[in-house]
Structure 1
Amino acid sequence: MNDQSFHLLAVDGGGTKTLAVITDSTGSILGEGKAGASNYQVIGKELAIKALVASIQGALAEAAALNGGPVRFEKTVFALAGIDTSNDELEVQEMVEESIKQLGLATHMLLVENDCLSALLGATQNKAGALLISGTGSIVFAHDGRGNFFRTGGWGYRVGDEGSGYWIGKEAIRSIMKMNDGREKETILSQLILQKFGFQKIEDLYNWVYSPAYCVDDVGALTALVEEAYKLGDKVSQGILDEAAAELTLLLETTIEKAGIAKEEFQLILQGGVIQNNHYIRDRVLDSLKTSAERVKVLDTDQKPITFIIKRGLNL
């Protein structure tokens, strides 16, 4: 059987889904496969490996590369969430190598790195830039254009993710508990969130928070209700959005200062449902940057992270 050769395998793996694509040398997609989460911090190494293997198998099948012959790639990029420490690097490298082994793949060049960093370098073509993500979680990466990168935040929902969808939802729930105590003025926010979950009283919300049914994604989804309440004139909700914007601004300004690019021209990429769709937060963050980073150029794009990861791979 003849070897089959492809130019690039790019994998974008996160806490909810994994996407693998095979492309030619121009970046045209030949095959695509999807699977569940591959962040080992969320689901463990065994399930993460299964997701990586399943997503790549899907891409191979779509690219008609499952005839039993060896499959070779010129370049392979695994851009994965959960690479936050030196120990993570070792753990994830083992996962990737095991996935490649199970699939019987060969690659001339292999890169394994944090998904946010990979997307940033792909989007800016290795020039100075920053990537601010605020979706369910939050994180900022910056690159100085000279091979050095810097990170702020991204420490997860338990101890970080300030300004994220989860953080906003959590602050909304905290405010409702304060309303129940009389420490906060009663507002429409309480009514909207109880209706969202179908709860009759605050006690039902409290019981849910400490039950197995409690879900980070469900809390993050409350951001839309906070925005709705703000548009209805709710000052408590406006205060939460103001704090979220301030936290994201702090994340961003801290990172570009560490990277030494605050006074330089650099691109800023905004990703994640909160920073892309909540215009109140977005506008406040960008207004703050007018004084701290006068030469920033905001890259407005609806492109998915995998697009930037493909670019990252093509330019290796």
Structure 2
Amino acid sequence: MAHDSIGYLGIDAGGSKTLVMIADRHGHLLGVGRAGPGNWESVGLDGALACYEQGVAEALRSAGMPRSRLAAAGYALAGVDWPSDERRLDGVVERLGIPGPRIIVNDTLAALRAGSRDGTGIVVICGTGSTVAGRSPDGSSFRTFGLGPLWGDHGGAGGLVVAALRALALHHYGRLPATGLAPRLLGALGAADVLELAERISREEIAQPGGELAHLVIAAAADGDAVACAIVREAGAELGANAAAVARRLGLHTSACEVVLAGGVLTAGCAPLLAAFAEALHQVAPQARPLVLASPPALGSVLLALDAAGLPADAAVRQRLAGEIRAWLA
């Protein structure tokens, strides 16, 4: 069905898939499109352009709308990690020929736009790795590097598993008490004991475990295992300290800023981790309000398009659009 509405385009391009959405200013989803991986660092600039174009073309067909009816665009793009990337990707999206103003951000800030009322505040994403970003009311933004523990970003799923394996080794050496992590990890990895596990990993008979086993650490902590609780509390404290640092950097630490929590580690409901996070955060930003991201992250790109057009969404528009995106994704 053809639409006479003006459309606002959002592209949410990640490392595994790309979602393209067109909505009107009232929060009605008009058209949707899908494409493959959109991170230019993996597929190259030409590959990223082809991916974006595929999704845009499908969304326009879905909406029954010509490109000329689009009025603005919001791009939430994986791979926009440094200032040079913003310039690089701006040249790529220019070639899409989308009329009107545009906003290009890293997908982390798009999650902040999806989760906070007005796109300001702090977002903490903790999945395989972790990163923290923020935006102040004056438009200033800042984020951590997201390059792992070596560069100060602790707390990711992979880090939880590394800490758990270290705990097993230290128990074997006699430095730590027994832990319920042992039967969980040994069972998942098919080893009889820690000695066998260490040997088989060192000989590459078993792949080095990664973040896919983090749920075992979280489950052990939920059961009250002291060693697992210490691991997740340390992760939560590191994440909270980084969130506090970003809040201070942006001058948000004295306000009741929203702190959006996203990613599997933070949304798993791990009470010791979340308590340690809040404690570290509130030492610096006592009024900050953590909240779990409840809206689809893809919502952020469309809200950015409305922002670019000078039409920031009110609560009703946000709720309607989030519901329609959620229904489409189901």
Normalising by structure 2, report the TM-score: 0.79
Counterpart of 1:303 in structure 2 is 295
Greater shift after overlay, 23-32 or 33-42? 33-42
Counterpart of 1:250 in structure 2 is 241
Residue 222 of structure 1 pairs with residue 213 of structure 2: yes
Counterpart of 1:237 (choices 221, 225, 228) is 228
Contact 1:74 1:108 in 2 (8 A): yes
Instruction: Give how far 1:294 is off.
Output: 2.5
Instruction: Give how far 1:42 is off.
Output: 4.3
Residue 78 of structure 1 pairs with residue 78 of structure 2: no
Contact 2:72 2:98 in 1 (8 A): no
Instruction: Give how far 1:200 is off.
Output: 4.8
Instruction: Give how far 1:75 is off.
Output: 0.6
| Equivalent-residue separation in structure 2 for 1:189 and 1:237 (angstroms) | 7
Counterparts in 2 of 1:111 and 1:273: CA distance versus 1, 3 Å? same
Instruction: Give how far 1:78 is off.
Output: 0.9
- CA deviations on 1:121-170 (whole Å, 9 max, x unpaired) are 45445565111211222111122211211212422577554112222123
Contact 1:266 1:297 in 2 (8 A): yes
Counterpart of 2:314 in structure 1 is none
| Equivalent-residue separation in structure 2 for 1:210 and 1:42 (angstroms) | 30
Counterpart of 1:266 (choices 257, 264, 273) is 257
Q: Secondary structure at the match of 1:113?
A: strand
Counterpart of 1:107 in structure 2 is 99
Instruction: Give how far 1:173 is off.
Output: 2.9
Counterparts in 2 of 1:283 and 1:108: CA distance versus 1, 3 Å? same
Counterpart of 2:86 in structure 1 is 89
Percent of aligned pairs sharing the same letter: 28
Whose relative contact order is higher, 1 or 2, with alpha carbons under 8 Å and at least 6 apart? Answer: 2
| Equivalent-residue separation in structure 2 for 1:251 and 1:196 (angstroms) | 32
Normalising by structure 1, report the TM-score: 0.82
Contact 1:125 1:312 in 2 (8 A): no
Q: Residue type of the partner of 1:25?
A: R
| Equivalent-residue separation in structure 1 for 2:169 and 2:46 (angstroms) | 39
Q: Residue type of the partner of 2:217?
A: V
Counterpart of 1:281 in structure 2 is 273
Counterparts in 2 of 1:42 and 1:235: CA distance versus 1, 3 Å? farther
Counterparts in 2 of 1:198 and 1:26: CA distance versus 1, 3 Å? farther
Counterpart of 2:311 in structure 1 is none
Instruction: Give how far 1:291 is off.
Output: 3.8
Q: Residue type of the partner of 1:264?
A: S
Could you tell me which runs of 5 or more consecutive residues in structure 2 were left unpaired when the two chains were aligned. Answer: 309-330
| Equivalent-residue separation in structure 1 for 2:181 and 2:9 (angstroms) | 46
Contact 2:76 2:300 in 1 (8 A): no
Contact 1:133 1:140 in 2 (8 A): yes
Aligned runs of 1:14-163 on 2, under 5 Å?
14-65=14-65, 70-98=67-95, 100=96, 105-121=97-113, 123-124=115-116, 126=118, 128-156=120-148, 159=151, 161-163=153-155
| Equivalent-residue separation in structure 1 for 2:173 and 2:46 (angstroms) | 45
Decide which structure has greater strand share: 1
Greater shift after overlay, 296-305 or 178-187? 178-187
Instruction: Give how far 1:214 is off.
Output: 5.1
Contact 2:160 2:235 in 1 (8 A): yes
| Equivalent-residue separation in structure 2 for 1:179 and 1:91 (angstroms) | 50
Contact 2:229 2:272 in 1 (8 A): no
Counterpart of 2:188 in structure 1 is 196
| Equivalent-residue separation in structure 2 for 1:107 and 1:226 (angstroms) | 49
Instruction: Give how far 1:262 is off.
Output: 0.9
Greater shift after overlay, 164-173 or 46-55? 46-55
Counterparts in 2 of 1:259 and 1:89: CA distance versus 1, 3 Å? same
Instruction: Give how far 1:270 is off.
Output: 1.5
Instruction: Give how far 1:230 is off.
Output: 2.2
Counterpart of 1:313 (choices 285, 292, 305) is 305
Counterpart of 2:317 in structure 1 is none
- CA deviations on 1:51-70 (whole Å, 9 max, x unpaired) are 333333432332234xxx65
Instruction: Give how far 1:21 is off.
Output: 0.8
Q: Secondary structure at the match of 2:100?
A: strand
| Equivalent-residue separation in structure 1 for 2:91 and 2:71 (angstroms) | 20
Q: Secondary structure at the match of 1:74?
A: strand
Counterparts in 2 of 1:28 and 1:141: CA distance versus 1, 3 Å? same
Could you tell me which runs of 5 or more consecutive residues in structure 1 were left unpaired when the two chains were aligned. Answer: none
